[in-house]
């Protein structure tokens, strides 16, 4: 009896998804509970498991198709009713024409082209299974299948050694540079080489006395030699946007169109925080099993400032302002498929060590694509740390429906004036973007100043955070 695999409920407010990658192929045996297909939603990627045992008889929805809740993805047939496996991709072998007898005995026939040039060897079954075991992004897998790349030979640079799209591109570039793949050239017969003594020696034409060797542009600058006009490659690549990337793009545009967004800046002297971390770092890690980073200090400082300026911890719903007296702080995390914002719940009730544990766990889950919908839902205020990538200054975009976001940046030693003296201190620029519809400029400036005060005197975080 056939069993249909349908699209399960995808979570709150999510009604459709994209088929990302099939983990099983038609004709393969499956057991109940086995992951069969990966769906891409606007928030997380999720695996759909088999709801019965048998053989995957038919794949209804192909990779890249949009599906809704309840749509049939595939059909599982019983072992008795299963039809023979159908190859998902046509074989690449081309039939070789039968050799023709030479019509002119006087001229020797051309040497036959090597079989490797026209018949690439098919991958053994063991190699295909090894490729399935390689940790790679869906985009990298699709690119590898399109170009016939063995993922086991590609060095992954993503989190936990995952192979990314860039890794496959680098591998293909290296293979082309080494002459590993030249199918177009292999079809063209090569001409016999001319012996060295018969090769004509080009004689450069004498330069015209009235025309300089290098042409000048109308502005008097030398133009590029004409050889560069046709030797430079102009390659393009078309990549399907993942559903998560589409959602990120849509929400960022919506935030700019719906909110009256404004950004204010300040700078903070990080000397006190860095000195405290230096003194307590080893003992903190030995006691709590996690490093003492900057994010716990900034999370506590943000909470202290939000308590003093509650409109930055609010939300607009119709004609009403919803002031939230709990503090679910979102931490922006960069992944190979875009930025996600997992949420630390009730951060005001957590210690420094608990906050560091939460941040480390959520960041690891984000990079391993193990975040659940619950990890991403809600959030009352967001912190984004562009300084880890070297950003010196930026204007963060609101993470709607939130009305405030703090941007951290690179710590850089700069000369500043302290008590009439010029000294070198580690400084960081801070930026807070806010929705001017309910947050006034004075509130935003005071909020950022309060964060600055708490960080420059971190002992007060124990009282205010």
Q: Which residue has the tokens 């201190």?
A: 425
**Element spanning 59, H or E:** strand 54-59
**Contact assessment for residue 43 and residue 14, using Cβ atoms and an 8 Å cutoff:** yes
Helix axes 138-147, 165-177, angle to 10 degrees: 30
CA distance 373 to 68: 17
Catalytic hit among 346, 368, 440, 457: 440
Q: State how far the Cα of 399 lies from the Cα of 382, in Å rounded to an integer.
A: 7
- Helix ranges (DSSP H) in 294-408: 295-308, 352-367, 373-376
Collapsing DSSP to helix, strand or coil, 435 comes out as strand
Catalytic residue among 288, 357, 425, 436: 436
DSSP state of 399: -
Q: Which of 50, 52, 4 is nearest to 23 (CA)?
A: 50
Verify whether residue 440 is a known catalytic residue. Answer: yes
The CA-based angle 131-135-138, given to 5 degrees, is 85
Residue showing tokens 């020797």: 108
Distance, in Å, from the CA atom of 386 to the CA atom of 186, rounded to the nearest integer, reads 49
Q: How far apart are the first and last CA of the chain?
A: 61
Q: Is 331 helix (H, G, I), strand (E, B) or coil?
A: strand
Q: What is the set of active-site residues? A: 436, 440
């Amino acid at each position: 009896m056939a069993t249909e695999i349908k699209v399960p409920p995808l979570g709150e407010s999510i009604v459709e998804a994209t088929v990302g990658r099939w983990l099983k192929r038609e004709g393969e045996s499956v057991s109940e509970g086995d992951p069969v297909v990966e769906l891409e939603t606007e928030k997380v990627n999720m695996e759909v498991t088999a709801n019965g045992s048998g053989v995957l008889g038919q794949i209804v929805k192909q990779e890249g198709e949009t599906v809704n809740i309840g749509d049939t993805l595939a059909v599982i047939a019983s072992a008795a009713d299963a039809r023979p496996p159908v190859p998902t991709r046509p074989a690449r072998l081309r039939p070789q024409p039968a050799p023709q007898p030479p019509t002119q005995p006087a001229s020797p026939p051309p040497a036959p082209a090597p079989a490797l040039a026209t018949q690439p060897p098919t991958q053994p079954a063991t190699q295909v299974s090894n490729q399935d075991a390689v940790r790679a992004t869906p985009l990298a897998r699709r690119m590898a299948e399109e170009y016939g790349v063995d993922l086991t030979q590609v060095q992954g640079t993503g989190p936990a050694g995952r192979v990314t799209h860039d890794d496959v591109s680098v591998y293909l570039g290296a293979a082309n540079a080494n002459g590993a793949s030249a199918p177009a050239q292999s079809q063209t017969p090569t001409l016999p080489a001319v012996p060295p003594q018969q090769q004509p020696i080009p004689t450069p034409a004498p330069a015209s006395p009235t025309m300089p060797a290098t042409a000048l542009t109308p502005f008097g600058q030398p133009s590029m030699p004409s050889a560069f006009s046709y030797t430079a490659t102009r390659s393009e690549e078309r990549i399907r946007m993942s559903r998560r990337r589409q959602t990120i793009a849509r929400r960022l545009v919506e935030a700019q169109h719906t909110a009256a967004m404004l950004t204010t800046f300040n700078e903070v002297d990080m000397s006190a925080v860095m000195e405290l971390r230096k003194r307590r770092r080893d003992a903190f890690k030995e006691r709590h099993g996690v490093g003492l980073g900057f994010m716990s200090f900034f999370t506590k400082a943000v909470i202290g400032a939000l308590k003093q300026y509650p409109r930055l911890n609010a939300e607009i719903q119709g004609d009403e302002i919803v002031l939230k007296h709990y503090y679910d702080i979102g931490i922006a995390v960069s992944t190979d498929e875009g930025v996600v914002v997992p949420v630390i719940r009730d951060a005001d009730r957590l210690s420094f060590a608990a906050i560091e544990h939460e941040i480390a766990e959520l960041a690891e889950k984000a990079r391993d694509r193990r975040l659940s919908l619950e990890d991403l839902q809600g959030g009352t205020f967001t912190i984004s740390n562009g300084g880890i990538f070297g950003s010196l200054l930026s204007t963060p975009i609101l993470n709607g429906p939130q009305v405030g976001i703090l941007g951290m940046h690179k710590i850089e030693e700069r000369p500043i004036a302290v008590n009439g003296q010029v000294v070198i201190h580690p400084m960081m620029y801070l930026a807070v973007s806010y929705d001017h519809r309910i947050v006034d400029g004075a509130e935003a400036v005071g909020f950022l100043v309060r964060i600055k005060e708490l960080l420059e005197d971190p002992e007060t975080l124990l009282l205010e955070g």
